[in-house]
Every structure is written in C-alpha cells, then in structure tokens.
C-alpha cells in the first residue's frame, strides 16, 4: 500500500468504503457480518487505514458494524470517517430535524442528537474525519441555516477533540456550488469527497470540481471510482480496446490507475463487497502506477462511448422509500443493459422477482427526490415498461 496525506495525516491511497458490504441474501441491506469482517481484517492487514461510513449506509447498520469490526485494533492504527446526513433532513422548528419523505420510520433528532448517536454506534470518542454528507444545490440551505448552525456546531466539536478533520462530500451538479461552500467557510475544511472517475470527468464535470478543490488548497477523497461497478464491467467492445494495451489488466484496475494520475486525489474509496475485490484493489494500490497520456486518451474514448447510459451508481439511497420495494438500481442496470443490446436475451420481467419488475412502479416519486445523481427514476421505469411490452 502506498500513502498520501490529508492535512499532515498519513492516509492509505486506497480507502475502505462501507456502503456496499456483503449482505444477507433476501434481507435487503442487512450486513453479512462474518463475510464483512473478513474484508475489514484483510484491509487492516494490507495497509488500508482509512474507513469511511455514514449515518444511513446499510440502513444505519454500517456505523455499528464498522465500530465493532475495528474494535480489536488499536484506535491509532486506523482512521474513521463518518458523515452528518444534512442532505436527508428538513427543519421542524426548535432545532429538531426530521428525515425527508421516503425515509419514513427514521426518528426526529437534533444535530447534537445525531452526532452523539454516531459516536456511540461507532464505539468511539472521536472521528478522525467527519463530513457533511452531500452538500448540493438543495441541501446547501440546511448546511447554511443560521438557526441550525451546523458548521458552527461541528467546528466546536473539533475544538473539543471529538473531530480531528472536517470535510464534506458532494454530489452537486455544478462545481460552483462546491466553490461557494468552500469560499463561505474558508479554512474550515481539509478535504472534499466527490464522485470521480474517467466517465464523470465529462459527464458530471468532475474535472471542474477537482480544479475548484485544488484551488482552495484541499485534497480530494474519491467516491464511486468505478461508478458502482459500471466501470469494473465494461462492454466487451471497450474491454477489447483496453486489453490490446495491457492484456492482463481488469477494467477496475484501469479505472483506479486513472485516479492515481490525478494529483489532487489523496484517498480512493472503494465499496468492496468481496475478498476478491479487495485482493485485486490492494494489489493495484501496492505502489503508484498512473495511466500515461496515451492510456488517458483511450479511457476518454471508452467514456465517450458510454455517455448515453443512465448514470446510476447503485448507492441504494432510493430503495428504502419505494412502496413496492423495487430493486431500483438493479432495474436501472437492466435498463442500461437492454438499451445497449447485451441484456434483452436474459431479461424477462414475468420470470424475474417482482422486485425487478419496472411495471410495478406507481410513479410516487419518492426515489427521484432522494437520488444524488438526479435520475428521473419514474420516467425510466415508464420507458422500460414500454420497451418490455413491445
């Protein structure tokens, strides 16, 4: 493993994301703790020291799990990052926050209540890194709200030693939103976590976001480096182009080597679900091996051929609020497959699990209101249903 720095702290170039841990078959997001623990132990024994979680990952179980899994290791042998869920709450008055529609059943709380619940769930007295989750065009008003004073509250927690370094994650549409937030709170943050990969360089203008963060002198923590697995399983035509240059390299290795070529990047998070994935990724990050200019141009070509795909990252934020318990990211993956002509033969919604049938969508819109990628999910469901009935 090679290492980089965020504000003087030595961080592993590959970080463990804890939102796609292995799950128990047929039990939604419930973590398969035995398998997940094996992955964390592998990470710890192969030099990964950065562990990222958030209030709502795995329907709230991720924080509890990672706290338990890391407990046997000395507290100074790993760095723990979690996030305040400001993008999913609304004000109810007197500092009380309720979760937005689509997350029914989550209790009202306060900023202080959420933070202390997180410390307790993670079994720690402090977070090494703490982020405001998804500062975007919509949630920025909550984070800037003078009555809630979220930034002031967490600055105080930092002074009290309960947080070592502050940052924020962002799925903002525009780089100017990130710039606005950084300018308003200049000096508060040490890093910004963004969705970055060779497809989003253009698709989500990640290039401008990296430039903005770099201009403020901060480091980038990468999420969705392989776009929820999309860039780890390229269509055969694209894969053949890559194999012609480096025969043995997987698509995921290409995506990670591209990230290694971006100087502002400190940690590349990967939501690793299997031991095979973490084995391959720790090998990729054993020492820097960034793509050269020719390889970069080739990946840009590959990205151009994929720009018409629905940009779902399989984050699963949308699934919890679906009244018909549809497997939305899997349906979108099927839709992308059908549209690209490599899935139709295998997809018949009459044979599939009802959770995979787009025709069961009632267009309630719960999913679209929470999707960080701004995907118009009910429209996709409608179009896919029409395509399948032809």
Site residues, ligand SF4 (CB under 6 A): 312-318, 321-324, 326, 328-329, 332, 361-367, 371, 373, 375, 377-378, 381
- Nearest approach, Cβ of 123 to ligand SF4 (angstroms)? 28
- Nearest approach, Cβ of 357 to ligand SF4 (angstroms)? 11
Of 298 and 331, the one with the shorter C-beta distance to ligand SF4 is 331
Of 88 and 361, the one with the shorter C-beta distance to ligand SF4 is 361
- How many CA atoms does the CB half-sphere of 352 hold within 13 Å? 19
Of 266 and 322, the one with the shorter C-beta distance to ligand SF4 is 322
- Nearest approach, Cβ of 51 to ligand SF4 (angstroms)? 22
Question: Which contiguous run of DSSP H or E holds residue 91?
Answer: strand 89-93
Q: What is the number of other CB atoms lying within 10 angstroms of the CB of residue 142? A: 20
Of 286 and 364, the one with the shorter C-beta distance to ligand SF4 is 364
CA 131 to chain centroid: 13
The encoded tokens of residue 241 equal: 């182009």
Burial label for 67, CB within 10 Å (0-12, 13-18, 19+), is: buried
Please give the Cα distance from 229 to 256 (Å, whole number).
12
Residue with tokens 């939102």: 19
Residues forming beta bridges with residue 90, ordered by sequence position: 98
Please give the Cα distance from 358 to 371 (Å, whole number).
17
- Nearest approach, Cβ of 138 to ligand SF4 (angstroms)? 14
Of 88 and 122, the one with the shorter C-beta distance to ligand SF4 is 88
Of 17 and 321, the one with the shorter C-beta distance to ligand SF4 is 321
Please give the Cα distance from 135 to 121 (Å, whole number).
23
Please give the Cα distance from 103 to 317 (Å, whole number).
9
Q: Which residues contact 100 (CB under 8 A, 6 or more apart)?
A: 88, 89, 90, 369, 370
User: In 78-235, where does DSSP find H-type helix?
Assistant: 111-122, 140-143, 150-159, 175-184, 200-203, 206-215
Of 234 and 333, the one with the shorter C-beta distance to ligand SF4 is 333
- Nearest approach, Cβ of 1 to ligand SF4 (angstroms)? 29
- Nearest approach, Cβ of 288 to ligand SF4 (angstroms)? 30
Residues forming beta bridges with residue 15, ordered by sequence position: 269
- Nearest approach, Cβ of 182 to ligand SF4 (angstroms)? 25
- Nearest approach, Cβ of 326 to ligand SF4 (angstroms)? 5
Of 171 and 253, the one with the shorter C-beta distance to ligand SF4 is 171
Of 88 and 148, the one with the shorter C-beta distance to ligand SF4 is 88
- Nearest approach, Cβ of 368 to ligand SF4 (angstroms)? 7
Question: Which contiguous run of DSSP H or E holds residue 14?
Answer: strand 14-17
Of 239 and 310, the one with the shorter C-beta distance to ligand SF4 is 310
- Nearest approach, Cβ of 370 to ligand SF4 (angstroms)? 6
Residues forming beta bridges with residue 95, ordered by sequence position: none
The encoded tokens of residue 31 equal: 């973590």
DSSP string, 169-189: EE--SSHHHHHHHHHHTTTT-
Long-range Cβ pairs for the range 253-256 (8 Å, 24+): 253/280, 253/284, 254/291, 254/295, 254/299, 255/197, 255/198, 255/225, 255/226, 255/227, 255/231, 256/14, 256/225, 256/226, 256/281, 256/284, 256/285
């Amino acid at each position: 493993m090679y290492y980089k720095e965020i504000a003087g702290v030595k961080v592993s170039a590959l970080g463990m994301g804890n939102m796609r841990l292995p799950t128990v078959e047929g039990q939604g997001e419930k973590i398969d703790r035995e398998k997940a623990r094996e992955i964390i132990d592998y990470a710890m024994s192969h030099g990964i020291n950065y562990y990222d979680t958030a209030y709502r990952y795995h329907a709230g179980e991720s924080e509890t799990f990672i706290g338990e899994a890391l407990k046997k290791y000395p507290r100074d042998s790993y760095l723990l990052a979690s996030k305040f869920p400001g993008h999913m709450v609304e004000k109810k008055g007197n500092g009380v926050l309720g979760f937005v529609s689509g997350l029914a059943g989550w209790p009202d709380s306060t900023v202080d209540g959420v933070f202390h619940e997180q410390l307790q769930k993670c079994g720690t007295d402090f977070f090494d890194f703490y982020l405001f989750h998804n500062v975007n065009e919509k949630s920025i008003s909550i984070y800037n709200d003078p009555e809630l004073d979220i930034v002031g509250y967490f600055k105080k927690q930092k002074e009290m030693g309960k947080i070592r370094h502050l940052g924020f994650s962002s799925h903002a549409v525009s780089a100017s939103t990130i710039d606005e937030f950084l300018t308003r709170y200049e000096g508060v943050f040490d890093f910004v976590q963004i969705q970055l990969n060779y497809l989003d360089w253009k698709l989500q203008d990640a290039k401008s976001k990296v430039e903005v963060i770099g201009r403020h002198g901060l480091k980038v923590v990468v999420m969705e480096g392989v776009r929820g697995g999309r860039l780890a399983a390229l269509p055969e035509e694209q894969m053949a182009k890559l194999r012609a240059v480096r025969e043995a390299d997987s698509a995921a290795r290409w995506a990670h080597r591209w990230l290694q070529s971006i100087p502002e990047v400190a940690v590349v998070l990967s939501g690793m679900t299997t031991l095979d994935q973490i084995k391959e990724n720790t090998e990729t990050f054993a020492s820097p091996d960034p793509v050269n200019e020719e390889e970069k141009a080739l990946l840009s070509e590959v990205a151009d051929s994929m720009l018409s795909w629905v940009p779902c990252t399989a984050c699963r934020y949308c699934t919890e609020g679906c009244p018909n318990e549809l497997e939305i990211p899997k349906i979108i993956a099927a839709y992308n497959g059908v549209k690209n002509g490599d899935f139709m033969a295998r997809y018949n919604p009459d044979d599939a699990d009802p959770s995979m049938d787009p025709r069961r969508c009632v267009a309630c819109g719960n999913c679209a209101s929470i999707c960080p990628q701004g995907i118009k999910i009910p429209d996709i469901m409608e179009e896919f249903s029409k395509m399948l009935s032809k």
